[in-house]
Chains A and B, each alone.
Chain A
Amino acid sequence: MFEGFEGGRMPAAFMSAGTSSFTEFLRAVNPELLPGQHLGTTGGSADHLTPDATTIVALTFPGGVLLAGDRRATQGNVIANRDMDKLYRTDEFSAVAIAGSAGIGIELARLYQVELEHYEKLEGRSLSLEGKANKLAQMVRGNLGMAMQGFVVIPLLVGFDEVTEQGRVFSYDAVGGRYEEQRYHSIGSGSVFAKGSIKKLYREDLDETTAIKVALESLYDAADEDSATGGPDLHRRIFPLIDVITEDGHRRVPTEEVARLATEVVQGRAENPDGPTARLD
């Protein structure tokens, strides 16, 4: 029924006081389950093997933080998937989104999810938000070998800090460098355009709904300029996904609400194709 469990006893590692890290435990008992274990020896670049996940934006607002992603995955000039979910609820107060090699990124996010929950269950308390951010940095660093072969995965972590009671955003580079971002950030192929867009729309006193609107505007701008980013698809009813984390915990914004706001954005663009403009005064 379970590998290594024929003799009526689990392998000793299962009961040792040992580690409270799921990744380390898996490395000891089932290393073949870790992401990218079999990709170590391929020669040359192999990044054409998995599609790329594209644009993600995150912004904070008083009392919370928001994470939004477009739905497109591309493989070269081909749209590999038009309704992909790149956002992962990692625990009650954090979420991760991925950009880059999708196949590796999905596994990384899944492992990270279990990692946080595993720690919480074994230790009886969750990691601090910094602890979560550092853990993710180590996991991205662990992927460096594959990043060198072209499988670059960049995550974006958002969380609600229960100590300081504010939303926070952490970005990463391919070697596991961890950077805390102030107010907002964007990653992925359309990030340059999305970030520029948020920069002009961001206010310190955004409420949740307005913050969602800013995210949708910025993703629209990214899709407008970057062929790999997907905009709201009104015909197929495919809209960006949005996660909000506040002191009440994690919440995926319901599709109807996103649909309503995204339709407003698209209609706004019918009148003004470049979207809202910033005031100069």
Chain B
Amino acid sequence: MPFYVAPEQQMKDKADYARKGIARGRSAVVLQYEGGILLVADNMSRTLHKISELYDRIGFAAVGRYPEFENLRLMGVRFADVRGYQFDRRDVSGRQLANIYAQTLGTVFSESLKPWEVEIVVAEVGDTADGDEIYRITFDGSIVDEQGFVAVGGSSEQVGEILKDRFVADAPLSAALNAATHALAHENGEARELEASNLEVAVLERSRHHRKFRRIHGSRLISLIEEGQRNNAANASGGANTTDDEADQD
């Protein structure tokens, strides 16, 4: 005979379960930079991506259980491609994708026994920085329209706080990457050193034609990380008598 469990308790148990699952993995951050939107994830694997392209101007970042968010990614790509083929490429928007993700996750959360242990970000780069959209969708289907930057993952609040200190909306790519890796390296209160091989990095580049999503890896990633560290060190050492503008030109 089944025991009665209050709906509140049921939901709370599911939410705790999902949170715990998500917290087991590493975080990801999505933030604006001067040329568009930067997506960075702490990911050892070179082939099991946490960051992907959904459509021309739209990127996807996820944390949690890989097979679950991979399903969501497939769904998003298929939805976007069908829609773009049916109407026009301009008729696919980040908001639509964020909505179907929210509805799907919401349905899974309320209807199935096991919630999905995922948290995702849908980012769309606009023609200008004002047109950029970043949506965060959590395991229960809540959707938040974020401004400027967002962190997802088990310790997203902590990562978000650290990122907030260094976030500048029109920072150059290397500085934005430096801020992102700094925040990711300090999750769970630890201070790790993140190398290029631990990072999955991609950008939605505003000035690019056709498809704006581009992965950054290999030597370009290494040089960007080094550039960011150099500038950051210069900033820190000369911080008292150097203005930000001068440091940026280094």
Residues of A within 8 A of B (CB): 1-2, 5, 7-10, 14-15, 17, 22, 25-26, 29-30, 33, 89, 110-111, 114, 117-118, 121-122, 124
What is the CA–CA distance of A9 and B71 in the complex, to the nearest angstrom?
13
Q: For the complex, is B104 an interface residue (Cβ under 8 Å from A)? A: yes
B81 at interface by CB-CB < 8 Å: yes
A117 and B107 CA atoms in complex are apart in Å by 30
Q: Which one, B47, B83, B104, contacts A9 given CB within 8 A? A: B104
Expressed in whole angstroms, the Cα–Cα distance for A9 and B99 within the complex equals 11
Please tell me if the beta carbons of B52 and A30 are within 8 angstroms of each other in the complex.
Answer: no
Q: Which of A10, A33, A110 contacts B104 (CB 8 A)?
A: A10
B24 sits at the interface (CB 8 A): no
A-B contacts, 7 listed (Cβ < 8 Å)? A8-B104, A8-B106, A14-B74, A14-B79, A29-B82, A118-B77, A121-B77
Q: How far is the CA of A106 from the CA of B99 in the complex (A)?
A: 32
Given known contacts A2-B79, A2-B83, A15 and B107 CB-to-CB distance under 8 angstroms: no
Give B46-60 interface residues, CB cut-off 8 Å to A. 47, 49, 52-54
Say whether A114 contacts B74, CB under 8 Å: no
A8: contacting residue among B52, B72, B78, B107, CB under 8 A: B107
Does B158 belong to the interface (CB within 8 Å)? no
B100 and A124 contacting across the interface, CB-CB below 8 Å: no
Chain B residue numbers with a CB within 8 Å of A7 are: 107
Closest 6 CB pairs of A and B: A8-B107, A14-B75, A15-B71, A8-B103, A121-B77, A15-B75
Residues of A within 8 A of B210 (CB): 89
| B100:A121 contact, CB within 8 angstroms | no
In the complex, what's the smallest C-beta–C-beta distance from B3 to chain A, in angstroms? Answer: 28
List of A residues within 8 angstroms of B82 by Cβ: 25-26, 29-30, 33
- B17 on the A face (CB < 8 A): no
Q: How far is the CA of A25 from the CA of B72 in the complex (A)?
A: 16
Contact B85 A26 (CB under 8 A): yes
Query: What is the distance, in angstroms, from A91's C-beta to the closest C-beta of chain B?
Result: 9
On chain B, the residues within 8 Å of A17 by CB distance are 74
Number of chain B residues whose Cβ lies closer than 8 Å to a Cβ of chain A: 27
Check B81–A114 contact: CB distance below 8 A: yes
Most A CB atoms within 10 A — which of B78, B82, B103, B106? B78
Contact in complex: B75, A114 (CB < 8 Å): no
Residues A122 and B85 in contact, CB atoms below 8 Å apart: no
B9 interfacial by beta-carbon distance below 8 Å: no
- Give the chain B neighbours of A8 by CB distance below 8 A: 103-104, 106-107
Q: A26-B85, A33-B85, A114-B84 are in contact. Are A10 and B96 (CB under 8 A)?
A: no
Scoring A8, A9, A25, A114 by chain B CB atoms within 10 A of each residue's CB, the highest score goes to: A8
Within 8 A of A (CB), among B96-129: 96, 99-100, 103-104, 106-107
Given contacts A29-B82, A110-B85, contact A5 B77 (CB under 8 A): no
Complex CA–CA separation, A220 to B103 (angstroms): 57
CB distance A30 to B107 under 8 Å? no
Kindly state the separation between the CA atoms of A132 and B104 in the bound complex, as whole angstroms: 33
Tell whether A15 pairs with B100 under 8 Å between CB atoms, given A29-B82, A114-B81, A121-B53.
Answer: no
Residue from the set A1, A14, A25 with the largest chain B CB neighbour count within 10 Å: A14
Contact A10-B75, Cβ < 8 Å, known A5-B100, A111-B85, A114-B84: yes
Specify which chain A residues have a CB less than 8 angstroms from the CB of B53 in the assembled complex: 121
Does B86 touch A at the CB level, under 8 Å? Answer: yes
Query: Closest CB-CB distance, B106 to chain A, in whole Å?
Result: 7
- Does A25 lie within 8 Å of B78, measured CB to CB? yes
